């Protein structure tokens, strides 16, 4: 029986699934199985998987049901004591499983361990730095304040914890990873590996690129989590919402150009300022307004051309410097 089950849901992932699997097969820790849920793919995904010819890979094919249902199916097939989810277009560094396993074994009370994330594009080239925080122990309030884990391809989790927290919520269509991490953190301590081990792929057609779906899902997660949270956490509601809308600005601006996205970003900015007026005095505000204004006024291609002349506009990610980590 393998010690770790790597759980992958894939739908029409022929372009990236082989590279993703190669990043698992290159792990310095080798006592694992790879459980792949083929979620109704109609392309050559299965052929790409089979071309690797590794006996640790197990494919289970189902009619298309979506990411959350597929992850729940993967958990039911997992034989390992620990599980780690991996999206079919993300990558791991070779020491990911080894170092995360050691961190959990050194902290037996913890149910999950996470590492740092960086972002890559469709060609696997570096885009930007992701969350690099080192919170551990009781991280429930911190994780509600902002998703510092950064992607669904990150934590290594004790499989036994799912008996307590339940499956992925199939009714949530945006932010479903965050929902699971928050539920785990509500009941268990977390450990951390302070090293970049997750390479999270972002592009315009990725699931997370739908900013409004992400907004709606995350607002529901916040209200659900706060409903039975301690009073000390409920008092953070304004900060939690303010932080969420700062992240929503990135969701709107960071992946897809166009006037509709710019209007959405403007609404998110106004909402973020409502919850956190510090943004009015921040050095990032002029950059945000210039970026939004350029995308509102100019056609997408022209706007992108103008913005590329100003490399410092990547500082829109500087709004994360205004995340409130009060607890």
DSSP notation for 215-239: HHHHHHHHHHHHHTS-HHHHTTHHH
Contacts of 321 (CB under 8 A, 6+ apart): 282, 284
CA–CA separation, 116 and 125 (whole Å): 17
Element (H, E) at 134: none
CA–CA separation, 314 and 62 (whole Å): 41
CB–CB of 315/253 below 8 Å? no
Residue-wise pLDDT tens digits, 50-59: 999 999 999 9
Element (H, E) at 179: helix 176-187
CA–CA separation, 292 and 263 (whole Å): 8
What pLDDT is attached to residue 265? 93
What pLDDT is attached to residue 258? 82
- Rank 107-116, 128-137, 301-310 by mean pLDDT and report only the highest: 107-116
Instruction: Enter the pTM of the model.
Output: 0.92
CA-closest candidate to residue 152, choices 109, 222, 202: 202
pLDDT higher than 80, residue 18: yes
Neighbours of 71 (CB within 10 A): 24
CA-closest candidate to residue 256, choices 287, 214, 210: 210
Of 12-26, 111-125, 190-204, 303-317, the poorest mean pLDDT is in: 303-317
pLDDT higher than 60, residue 191: yes
CA–CA separation, 293 and 299 (whole Å): 11
CB–CB of 166/69 below 8 Å? no
Q: Are strands 112-120 and 190-201 parallel, antiparallel or unpaired?
A: parallel
């Amino acid at each position: 029986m393998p010690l770790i089950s790597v759980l992958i849901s894939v739908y029409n992932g022929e372009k990236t699934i082989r590279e993703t699997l190669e990043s698992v097969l290159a792990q310095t820790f080798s006592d694992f199985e790879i459980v792949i849920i083929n979620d109704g793919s109609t392309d050559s995904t299965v052929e790409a998987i089979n071309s690797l010819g590794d006996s640790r890979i197990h494919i289970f094919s189902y009619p298309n049901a979506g990411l959350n249902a597929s992850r729940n199916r993967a958990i039911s097939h997992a034989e390992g004591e620990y599980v780690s989810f991996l999206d079919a277009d993300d990558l791991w560094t070779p020491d990911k499983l080894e170092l995360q396993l050691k961190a959990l074994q050194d902290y037996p009370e913890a149910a999950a361990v996470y590492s740092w994330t960086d972002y890559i594009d469709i060609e696997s080239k570096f885009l930007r730095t992701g969350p690099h925080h080192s919170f551990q122990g009781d991280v429930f309030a911190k994780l509600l304040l902002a998703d510092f884990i950064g992607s669904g391809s990150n934590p290594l989790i004790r499989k036994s914890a799912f008996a307590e927290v339940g499956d992925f919520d199939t009714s949530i269509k945006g932010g479903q990873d965050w929902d699971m991490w928050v539920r785990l953190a509500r009941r268990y301590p977390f450990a951390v590996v302070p090293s970049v081990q997750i390479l999270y792929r972002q592009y315009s057609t990725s699931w997370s690129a739908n900013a409004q779906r992400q907004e709606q899902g995350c607002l529901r997660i916040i209200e659900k989590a706060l409903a039975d949270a301690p009073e000390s956490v409920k008092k953070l509601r304004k900060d939690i919402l303010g932080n969420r809308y700062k992240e929503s600005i990135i969701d709107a601006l960071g992946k897809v150009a166009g006037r509709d996205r710019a209007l959405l970003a403007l609404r998110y900015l106004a909402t973020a300022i409502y919850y956190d007026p510090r943004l009015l005095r921040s050095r990032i505000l002029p950059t945000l307004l210039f970026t939004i204004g350029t995308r509102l006024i100019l056609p997408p291609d022209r706007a992108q051309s103008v913005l590329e002349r100003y490399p410092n506009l990547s500082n829109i990610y500087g709004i994360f410097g205004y995340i409130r980590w009060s607890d």
